[in-house]
């Protein structure tokens, strides 16, 4: 996979071996948003300034699409992160003459639409790109969303817990297929409070992502200070195990994607989505979720936690790691479940033996037993 965003920096001042200066091209053709003085509007982005593509200019859109085709698809890319899209200044001047205040929220829609048109123009429906900014019509254009840049922390404001909160709330808002960076993204060096990705956080985020729409890592903004999937052999084995679990859900997820396309249903769901008649489900936010209608997930999202209090809605549920059954009546059932690293609290409806068998085969690496042991 590769990467693109609508910012265009003048890298000629930073590098000597520039093959093509996209900033000068865009500036010469009027493809950048402008200041009231008619100059390219340069926006501060971390430690450099960059111009922003004017998506109200049809020629600018064609130009950017050709860049993606030539510089990304032509070298074998089958997908990309279409980053940013939220940075249009309110005092910019647009090619179309529209108010930047009015167009601000439509910019991410236009950015997703530009990327989506490439799939049709290249006759490559297999291509996938993912976006983070959005507005009302973004789900119509993007192939996949992601939740942006969480802190590499355990907190519920911008850490791992918000990965679940974001999936659930966005799913109810029409963003049916969404995901987060495994391990989070934003590392902060601060004399008062440091945020560095720990091994435990990475392991738990890996477990969480195996039961999401997409299983994707990110090294973070300070890779050398973050625990990575290949930092040590234990992490690599853990990552491989949950990658196999994720792969075992291929057919099941494919069915959920079809439901999302046909009905707008989220892939990751709040419990009340499946059990609207159960009042207990309305008080659950990041603590639990459903992957479709058949899998109940109660992820461990707190440091040092090795047990999990789980609310089971009505039905029979089987723990995929131990095969222990939990039967909930009309009033539901609350149980404390062991959840050491490597065995999160994940359950499948007891009736769905095929799904349970596929998951347990992925866990053990052995084919599902068809006859009982003697």
Q: Where in the sequence numbering do the catalytic residues fall?
A: 83, 86, 149
What are the distances in angstroms from CA 293 to CA 110, 259, 270, 317?
A: 33, 11, 10, 12
**3-state class of 116 per DSSP?**
helix
DSSP 279: G
Cα-to-chain-centroid distance, residue 160: 12
Return the closest-CA partner of residue 238 out of 228, 248, 252. 228
Separation of alpha carbons 194 and 153, rounded Å: 10
Strands ordered across the beta sheet of 325-328 = 268-269, 289-291, 295-298, 345-349, 315-319, 325-328
Helix, strand, coil percent content, the chain, rounded in steps of 5: 35, 20, 45
Take residue 39 and report the two structure tokens written for it. Answer: 């100059």
Long-range contacts from 249-258, C-beta under 8 angstroms, 24+ separation:
249/210, 249/211, 249/291, 249/358, 249/359, 252/291, 252/292, 252/294, 252/295, 252/355, 252/358, 253/213, 255/292, 256/213, 256/291, 256/292, 257/177, 257/213
Contact 40, 30 (CB under 8 A): no
Structure tokens at 105: 């929220």
Tokens of 347: 């359950």
């Amino acid at each position: 996979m590769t990467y693109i965003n609508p910012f265009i920096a003048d890298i000629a001042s930073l590098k000597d071996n520039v093959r093509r200066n996209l900033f000068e091209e865009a500036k010469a053709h009027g493809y950048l948003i402008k200041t009231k003085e008619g100059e390219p509007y340069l926006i501060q982005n971390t430690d450099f300034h960059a111009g922003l593509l004017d998506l109200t200019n049809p020629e600018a859109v064609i130009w950017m699409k050709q860049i993606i085709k030539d510089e990304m698809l032509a070298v074998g890319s089958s997908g990309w992160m279409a980053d940013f899209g939220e940075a249009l200044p309110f005092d910019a001047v647009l090619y179309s003459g529209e108010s930047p205040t009015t167009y601000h929220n439509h910019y991410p829609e236009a950015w997703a639409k530009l990327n989506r048109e490439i799939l049709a123009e290249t006759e490559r429906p297999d291509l996938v790109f993912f976006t983070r900014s959005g507005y009302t019509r973004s789900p119509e254009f993007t192939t996949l969303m992601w939740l942006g840049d969480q802190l590499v922390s355990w907190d519920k404001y911008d850490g791992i817990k918000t990965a679940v909160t974001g999936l659930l709330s966005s799913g109810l808002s029409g963003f049916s297929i969404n995901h987060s960076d495994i391990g989070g993204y934003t590392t902060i060096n601060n004399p008062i409070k440091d945020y560095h990705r720990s091994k435990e956080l990475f392991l738990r985020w890996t477990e969480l992502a195996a039961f999401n729409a997409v299983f994707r890592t990110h090294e973070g903004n300070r890779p050398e200070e973050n625990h990575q999937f290949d930092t040590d052999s234990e992490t690599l084995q853990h990552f491989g195990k949950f990658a196999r679990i994720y792969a075992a859900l291929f057919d099941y997820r494919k069915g959920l994607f079809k439901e999302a396309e046909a009905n707008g249903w989220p892939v990751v769901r709040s419990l009340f989505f499946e059990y609207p008649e159960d009042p207990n489900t309305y008080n659950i936010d990041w603590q639990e979720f459903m992957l479709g209608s058949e899998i109940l997930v109660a992820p461990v999202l707190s440091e040092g936690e090795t047990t999990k209090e789980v609310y089971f809605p009505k039905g029979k549920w089987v723990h995929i790691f131990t095969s222990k059954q939990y039967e909930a009546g009309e009033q539901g059932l609350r149980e404390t479940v062991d959840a050491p690293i490597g065995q999160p609290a994940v359950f499948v409806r007891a009736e769905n033996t095929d799904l349970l068998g596929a998951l347990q085969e992925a866990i053990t690496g052995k084919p599902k037993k068809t006859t009982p042991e003697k």
